[in-house]
């Protein structure tokens, strides 16, 4: 029997470089025991089976299966193959006409041509998906607990703040710039004039970049500067550090900066953020915003293909794409979201692990396993290492509009303040959007908008 081997290692960390080699050895041994001849090996390293990221070797393997190049698929475990229903459906559709068997080192034999085999595959896929979702739930719960204890969470060092071991400390020189900028806004100065002043004096962001109006607005409207802890848009009370801007002054400041009358932008040419970003599947042409009319003479906006004249209602497409993008930004860490190189992913994974270890010190103290001095010493060591790693991550992420948005305490509120150009920059960083042919009827079908993640 001709067989193919599919391998995947989702997190290629420094201490686990040989994970793929170990999977391959186990799969080759299984092939030999089953009397199979391996005709192809497909390896996707550092690609998640559940995030929707491209898996080129997975696609190549399906193409080979479609050409009947093998009849047995060998993997280390079924969760190395699929965690999404779409992946399982692709396999089943091919298996029904090609008698595909799946041999898994740690999950047994699955015959996708039989109802029982398909049921088992579905159960294993559902269990794997459950674990992925539970991990995400646990991570969000941990972040929320840290916020409730007054521990600020950030990916990149925010202007005006730094860490001293476990504690957050205020950077005096930067805090003075924040206070001065806040007073100028309350006195009637524009953000543009304050930005020019900061850049003229050589003041830079924590990444070393010149200031922009958007960056300054984000700093001045972040509850952190008023001594408040906010996580995912929800307030968790007063922070353990002193406010840079007094709470009453901050409330007046944010009210002014979020006043729609002040929201004059330079987006004179780009009024609709997805105009020109959508691709018509029929002819690969771009789609642009334009005006259409109902039979009764009511005006509304649509995206229209320049060549074939295909249209989609602008409001429906905008709402769908916005919801998908913000949902992913809220659910994933910045490094994973931007598809950055593996070493940055390793740094983020180490930060998460160190934070968990630091959070566990209190339990060790309560159980009498560590003395207060030992806990304090360990917390300082872990905090120092976390600071070093976070600075490395910040340098690697660079000046990304997605990273800026993901660092906001309330992602959706920060999104609502972005102009069309900034929203377009986020979309173009993350996704490619294709408009497919629609069926009969006038009701909007989300399935005709295909959103493909770039990372």
Rounded mean pLDDT of 273-281?
A: 92
Please tell me which of 239-243, 256-260, 319-323, 366-370 the model is most confident about, judged by mean pLDDT. Answer: 319-323
Rounded mean pLDDT of 89-113?
A: 71
**Per-residue pLDDT at 65:** 86
- In which band, very low, low, confident or very high, does the pLDDT at 290 lie, cut at 50, 70 and 90? very high
Q: What is the rounded distance in angstroms from the CA atom of residue 6 to the CA atom of residue 149?
A: 44
Rounded mean pLDDT of 386-394?
A: 70
* Helices H / strands E in the chain, number of each: 16, 15
Strands 101-104 and 72-75: parallel
| 284 or 364: which leads in pLDDT | 284
- The H-or-E segment that residue 8 falls in is strand 2-9
**Per-residue pLDDT at 378:** 82
Residue 180 predicted with pLDDT over 90: yes
pLDDT tens-place string over residues 12-28: 443 344 577 888 899 99
CB atoms within 10 A of CB 300: 11
Rounded mean pLDDT of 309-330?
A: 91
Polymer length in residues for the chain = 455
The DSSP annotation for 121-155 comes to HHHHHHHHHHHHHHHHHHHHHHHHHHHHTT----S
In 135-285, DSSP assigns E strands to 161-164, 167-170, 228-231, 234-238, 278-280
pLDDT tens-place string over residues 337-348: 665 555 666 777
Residue 122 predicted with pLDDT over 50: yes
Answer for the pair 110, 101: CB distance below 8 angstroms, yes or no.
Answer: yes
**Per-residue pLDDT at 188:** 76
SS3 content of the chain, % helix, strand, coil (to 5): 50, 15, 35
| 218 or 377: which leads in pLDDT | 218
Whether pTM exceeds 0.85: no
Residue 301 predicted with pLDDT over 90: yes
- In which band, very low, low, confident or very high, does the pLDDT at 139 lie, cut at 50, 70 and 90? low
Q: What is the rounded distance in angstroms from the CA atom of residue 225 to the CA atom of residue 241?
A: 10
**Per-residue pLDDT at 361:** 76
Rounded mean pLDDT of 190-218?
A: 90
Q: How far, in Å, are 186, 189, 261, 298, 396 from residue 251 at the CA level?
A: 11, 17, 17, 41, 34
Among residues 184, 217, 216, the alpha carbon closest in space to that of 203 is found at 216
Does the domain spanning 163-263 belong to CATH 3.90.1750.20?
A: yes
The strands making up 37-45's β-sheet, listed across from edge to edge, are: 37-45, 2-9, 72-75, 101-104, 108-111
Largest interatomic CA distance in the chain = 81
**Per-residue pLDDT at 319:** 94
Residue 439 predicted with pLDDT over 80: no
**Per-residue pLDDT at 16:** 44
Q: What percent of the chain has pLDDT over 90?
A: 23
Residue 120 predicted with pLDDT over 70: no
**Per-residue pLDDT at 316:** 94
Does the domain spanning 2-142 belong to CATH 1.20.1250.20?
A: no
């Amino acid at each position: 029997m001709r067989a193919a081997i599919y391998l995947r290692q989702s997190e290629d960390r420094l201490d686990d470089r040989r994970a793929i080699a170990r999977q391959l050895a186990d799969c080759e041994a299984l092939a030999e025991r089953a009397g199979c001849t391996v005709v192809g090996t497909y390896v996707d390293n550092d690609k998640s089976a559940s995030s929707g990221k491209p898996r080129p070797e997975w696609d190549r393997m399906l193409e080979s299966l479609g050409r009947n190049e093998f009849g047995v698929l060998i993997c280390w475990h079924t969760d190395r193959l699929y965690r999404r229903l779409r992946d399982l459906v692709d396999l089943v559709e091919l298996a029904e006409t090609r008698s595909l068997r799946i041999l898994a080192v740690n999950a047994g034999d699955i015959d996708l041509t039989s109802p029982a085999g398909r049921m088992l595959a579905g159960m294993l896929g559902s269990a794997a998906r459950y674990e992925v979702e539970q991990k995400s739930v646990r991570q969000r719960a941990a972040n929320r607990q840290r916020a409730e204890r007054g521990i600020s969470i950030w990916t990149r060092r925010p202007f005006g703040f730094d860490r001293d071991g476990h504690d957050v400390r205020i950077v005096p020189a930067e805090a003075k710039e924040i206070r001065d900028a806040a007073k100028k806004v309350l006195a009637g100065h524009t953000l543009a004039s304050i930005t020019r002043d900061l850049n003229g004096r050589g003041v830079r962001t924590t990444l070393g970049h010149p200031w922009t109006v958007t960056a300054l607005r984000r700093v001045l409207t972040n509850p952190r500067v008023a001594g408040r802890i906010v996580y995912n848009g929800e307030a968790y009370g007063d922070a353990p550090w002193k406010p840079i801007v007094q709470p009453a002054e901050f409330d007046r400041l944010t009210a002014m900066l979020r006043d729609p009358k002040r929201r004059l932008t330079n987006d004179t040419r780009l009024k609709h953020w997805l105009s020109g970003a959508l691709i018509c599947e029929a002819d690969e042409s771009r789609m642009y915003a334009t005006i259409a009319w109902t039979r009764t003479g009511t005006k509304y906006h649509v995206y229209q293909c320049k060549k074939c004249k295909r249209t989609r209602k602008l409001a429906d497409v905008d709402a769908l794409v916005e919801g998908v993008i913000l949902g992913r930004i809220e659910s994933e860490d910045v490094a994973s979201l931007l598809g950055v190189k593996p070493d940055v992913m390793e740094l983020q994974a180490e930060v998460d692990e160190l934070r968990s270890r630091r959070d566990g010190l209190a339990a060790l103290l309560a159980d009498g396993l560590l003395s207060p001095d030992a806990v304090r010493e360990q917390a300082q060591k872990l905090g120092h290492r976390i600071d070093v790693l976070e600075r490395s991550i910040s340098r690697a992420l660079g000046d990304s509009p997605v990273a800026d948005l993901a660092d906001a305490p309330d992602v959706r509120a920060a999104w609502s303040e972005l102009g069309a150009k900034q929203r377009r920059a986020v979309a173009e960083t993350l996704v490619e959007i294709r408009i497919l042919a629609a069926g009969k009827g006038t009701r909007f079908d989300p399935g005709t908008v295909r959103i493909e993640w770039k990372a």
